[in-house]
Structure 1
Amino acid sequence: MAPTRRLAVVYNPMKVEDLDADRGVVAAACRRHGWEEPSWIETTAEETGEKQGRDAVEAGADVVASLGGDGTVRAVATALVGTGVPLGLLPAGTGNLLARNLDLPVDSTESAIEPLLTGSDLPIDVGFVSADGDPEEVFLIMTGLGLDGEIMAGTSERVKGVLGWPAYIVSGVSKLWGRGFAVRVAASGGSGVVGSPSGSPSDRVRRHARTVIVGNCGTLQGGLELMPDAKVDDGVLDAVVIAPRGAVGWASVVADIATRHRVGHKRLDRMRGGEFTIETARPIEAEIDGDPIGACRRLDIRVDPQSLLVRHG
C-alpha cells in the first residue's frame, strides 16, 4: 500500500544548525515508518510560522512539525489550534520549553523524530493574551510582565547563540534590583489565590511587585519549577506574583521556588484561574513565550482548554 501519512516541517533557518542533516534524518525516519517524503516550509522575518502552518494544513499534512525556537513553536501552534491537526516538536534554539514540559526528547532530531511519527496525540490547553486591547496572541508556556519581560528584552540573540539558555541568567542578574511597580491581578474561573497568607482564598491581589507571570506550563530553563502544580491539560492557568524586598526578599523567593513552595514566602502569591486581568500603574515590559512585546499597562489572559493536539511519545 502506498504511503498516505504526510509530515510538514516548518523550520526557522536562523535556528537550525545543519538543515541538510536534519532533512536526512527526518526523511529516513519517514521512509522507515511508511510516511510520504516530508515537505519543508521555511519561515521568514515577516512570516514566522503561522501562515506556513495554515498552508501545511490546507495541503493535507497529518502532522505539522516546528523546527525552530519557542517563537516558531508558538507561531505554528497558532495555525493549528482547533484544527485537529497535531503539532510535532523538533528541537532547535535555546529553550524548547514546551517539549521539556511534556518530557519529549530535546537533545537531537534523531531522538525527537521517533515519537513524532509513532506517538499518540495529546490534547493540551492554549493560552490567549491581549496587551492593552490589541488582538489576542497564543501562548503555550508563559506570559507576563516585569522582570521576565525585561530579561527577554535585554537578552541578545548573539549572547544566546554563545551561551544558550544561561544567557537569560546573565541578563536577569543585571536587572534584579530594578524598581518594582504597582499591580492589580484579578483571576476568575479557578481557585484564586492558592495558600494565601491570610488563609482565605481570594480572586484578587494588589502588590508593589517585581514580576507577574501567568503560565500554562510550570517549568523554566534549567529545570526550574516556577509553578510545579501547573498542568498543560487541566483547563486552568497558574500565576505567580513576586514582590520581594531587597536581597533577603529575593533569597526567600528563591528558597520558596527551589522547595516547590514548601518553605513559603509572604511576598509570593500563587493563583489559579481560567481568566486573568493584570493592570499596572505605568507601562511595564512584557513577554509572550519568551518573546518581548514591549511595555504595556494591561494584559487580558484566558485559557482555551485542550484546543491543541501535540504529538506525544
Structure 2
Amino acid sequence: MSPQLVLLVNPAARGGRAVRLLGPVARRLRAGGADVSVIVGDSAPDALERACAAVAERPDALVAFGGDGLVHLAVQAVVGTDVPLGIIPAGTGNDIATALGVPRKDPMAAARVVLRGRSRLVDAARIQAGQADEVFAGVVCCGFDSRVNERANGLSWPPGMAKYLLATFQELRRFRPIPFRITLDDDEPIEREAMLVAVGNTSSYGAGMRVCPDAQPDDGLLDVMILSALSKAEFVRVFPSVYRGVHVAHEAVSVRRVRRVVLEAPDVVAYADGERIGPVPVTCEIQPGALRVIA
C-alpha cells in the first residue's frame, strides 16, 4: 500500500523562491510510490487547522515543506500523536532539520529521507507566555536576540538574512543589559543582568548559530544558556564565536540542563523556533519523547 503523505507548504519560504521546488519534490515523492496531498493555508491559523484535520485522518506522515517557522506550526499538529513529522527544508535557516540530520540544502535528498520513512522519538517542549501555550522543537530566545527578531519583523527591506543583520546593528546601538529573574527546576531564582537567555531543545537557531551547542533533542532535558551583561565592545567580539559554539567557554556564559525553566524580565518578547510567542514571563518545560520524526 502506498504511504499517505500530507505535504504542508509555506509558499512564502525564502521570499517565495522555494515554492519553485514544490513541483519537483512532489513528483519525486510520487515517483517513490507515495500518495501525496498538499496543504497551503490562507494564513498560519488556517494552515494549522488544515494540518490538524489532516493528522486526524492518520496519514503516514505530515511533511513540512518550508523553514523552521513552518516546522514549528507542523509540530503543533503532530505532537502527542503517532503521526511522524517529515521535513523538506526550504526556508532560510532550517536549524531544526539540521539537528535531526535531514539534508538542509538538498530538497531531493530530504525527500528520499521521507520516502524511507524511518522514524524515531525526540523531545518537544511546552512554552507558555500569557495566553500563548505552544510546543517548540528547537530554541527559545529571550533578550537581545528576540529584540532583533522584533525589529526585523518590522522591516520590509532588505530581504532574507540581510534584514536580520540590519536589525542586529540597529538594536545594538540602543541595547542595554536586561534584569532577568531565572528559575531553573525547583532551585532558588537567579537574579542577573544578562544580554540574553536561550532555552534549547536543539543546538542552533538563526541559520547555524550554535547557541546551545551541546543540546540534544532526545535527552529529556533543556539546555539553558545565559549570557551575562557585557560591554558592547566585548559582546561584538564574542558574538561570532556562537557559530562554532565556543562562546560557552567565555566567563560571562553559563549553561544549565533542566526540565523546566521560568524566565521573567521587563520589556522582553519570547520567540520559539523563530516564531513570536509573546511577552515574558515565560515557562518552558520538556516533554520527553513527545514527537515522532522522520530522520
Structures share a fold, TM > 0.5? yes
Other-structure match for 2:182: 185
Unaligned runs of 5+ in 2: none
Other-structure match for 1:250: 235
Please give the alpha-carbon distance, in whole angstroms, between the structure 2 residues aligned to 1:166 and 1:103: 26
Matched, 1:308 2:278: no
Matched, 1:218 2:203: yes
Other-structure match for 2:163: 167
Q: Aligned runs of 1:200-279 on 2, under 5 Å?
A: 204-250=189-235, 253-254=238-239, 257=242, 260-261=245-246, 264-279=249-264
Q: For residue 154 of structure 1, give the secondary structure of its aligned residue in structure 2.
A: helix
Unaligned runs of 5+ in 1: 190-201
The 1:151–1:255 alpha-carbon spacing in structure 2 relative to 1, beyond 3 Å, is closer
Please give the alpha-carbon distance, in whole angstroms, between the structure 2 residues aligned to 1:284 and 1:73: 24
Matched, 1:49 2:47: yes
Matched, 1:151 2:148: yes
The 1:105–1:263 alpha-carbon spacing in structure 2 relative to 1, beyond 3 Å, is closer
Equivalent residues of 2:137, 2:273 under 8 A apart:
yes
Q: For residue 70 of structure 2, give the secondary structure of its aligned residue in structure 1.
A: helix
Larger Rg: 1
Other-structure match for 1:35: 34
Q: Aligned runs of 1:109-120 on 2, under 5 Å?
A: 109-120=107-118
CA displacement at 1:311 relative to structure 2:
0.6
1:263-309: CA deviation from partner (whole Å, max 9, x where unpaired): 733322211100001112x2313212112345x23111101011111
More helix by share: 2
Percentage of identical aligned residues: 26
Please give the alpha-carbon distance, in whole angstroms, between the structure 2 residues aligned to 1:48 and 1:244: 41
Other-structure match for 1:78: 76
The 1:227–1:19 alpha-carbon spacing in structure 2 relative to 1, beyond 3 Å, is closer
1:69-105: CA deviation from partner (whole Å, max 9, x where unpaired): 3221111111101111111101222121111222311
TM-align CA RMSD? 2.5
Q: For residue 148 of structure 2, give the secondary structure of its aligned residue in structure 1.
A: helix
CA displacement at 1:175 relative to structure 2:
1.4
CA displacement at 1:135 relative to structure 2:
3.8
Please give the alpha-carbon distance, in whole angstroms, between the structure 2 residues aligned to 1:239 and 1:129: 14
Please give the alpha-carbon distance, in whole angstroms, between the structure 1 residues aligned to 2:115 and 2:286: 28
Other-structure match for 2:22: 22
Please give the alpha-carbon distance, in whole angstroms, between the structure 2 residues aligned to 1:173 and 1:245: 16
